[in-house]
């Protein structure tokens, strides 16, 4: 985590005119010091959303795009007793 903390500081110094960079640095420091708790999905999404500018160069562009539909990801119906057989599917042979 020490290396990540150093990289976050570099990011904040690199973009002093961007408020999202300052906010990412502030939230990172709060999390590392223990003053910010991430306890549920809402706080996790807020925390990760604040850190995104540090990890994705095109964050300002992608932030304006429509949020992807995640309904099928979080609540997947059980498969039941089905057996998954993938033999031959990649080549088209059965």
Give 5-25 pLDDT, tens digit per residue: 999 999 999 988 988 899 999
Q: Say if 85 falls within a structural domain.
A: no
Which of the four pLDDT bands, split at 50, 70 and 90, describes residue 89? low
Are the CB atoms for 12 and 22 separated by under 8 Å?
Answer: yes
Q: What is the mean pLDDT of the chain?
A: 77
Residue 12: domain span? 2-66
Is residue 88 one of the residues assigned to a domain? no
Q: How far is CA 76 from CA 40, 41, 79, 85, 93, in A?
A: 20, 17, 9, 19, 29
What pLDDT, in 10s, does the model give residues 33-44? 999 999 998 899
How far is it, in rounded angstroms, from Cα 66 to Cα 23?
Answer: 22
Rounded CA gap, 13 and 7, in Å? 10
Residue 86 lies in a domain: no
Establish if 78 belongs to a structural domain. no
Q: Is the pTM of this model over 0.85?
A: no
For position 32, what pLDDT does the model report? Answer: 93
Phi, psi at 92, each rounded to 5°: 90, 0
């Amino acid at each position: 985590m020490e290396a990540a903390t150093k990289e976050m500081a570099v990011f904040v110094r690199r973009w002093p005119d961007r408020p999202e960079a300052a906010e990412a640095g502030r939230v990172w420091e709060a999390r590392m010091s223990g003053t910010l708790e991430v306890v549920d999905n809402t706080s996790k999404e807020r925390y990760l959303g604040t850190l995104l500018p540090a990890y994705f160069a095109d964050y300002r562009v992608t932030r304006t795009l429509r949020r992807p539909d995640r309904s099928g990801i979080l609540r997947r119906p059980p498969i039941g007793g089905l057996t998954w057989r993938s033999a031959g599917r990649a080549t088209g042979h059965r």
